[in-house]
């Protein structure tokens, strides 16, 4: 096989790998956002929409993070 063809094949393989990695990262971000949305939905159900709206974005992030950590710990038991 010529050097040029080998380089083309390697380049195509690298592009395919990069594309697959980007797609995987994208799916992880979608899953993370879905988990955040579920946590926020749970908070709204628990607190009510009016109280939820009073929370700052940082407080929501902290609460969601704590909920996710709890869920991971609970799953590992």
DSSP 62-74: HHHHHHHHHHHHH
Specify whether the CB–CB gap between 39 and 67 falls below 8 A: yes
Tell me the per-residue pLDDT of 32-45, one tens digit each, with 9 for 90 and over.
889 888 888 888 89
Tell me the per-residue pLDDT of 31-77, one tens digit each, with 9 for 90 and over.
988 988 888 888 889 889 898 888 888 888 888 888 888 888 887 77
From first CA to last CA, the distance across the chain in angstroms is 54
If you search the block for the tokens 């908070």, which residue do you land on?
A: 43
């Amino acid at each position: 096989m010529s050097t040029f063809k080998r380089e083309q094949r390697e380049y195509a393989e690298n592009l395919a790998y990069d594309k697959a990695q980007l797609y995987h990262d994208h799916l992880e971000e979608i899953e993370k956002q879905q988990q955040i949305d579920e946590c926020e939905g749970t908070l709204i159900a628990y607190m009510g929409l009016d109280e939820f709206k009073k929370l700052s974005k940082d407080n929501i992030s902290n609460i969601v993070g704590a909920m996710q950590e709890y869920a991971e710990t609970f799953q590992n038991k």
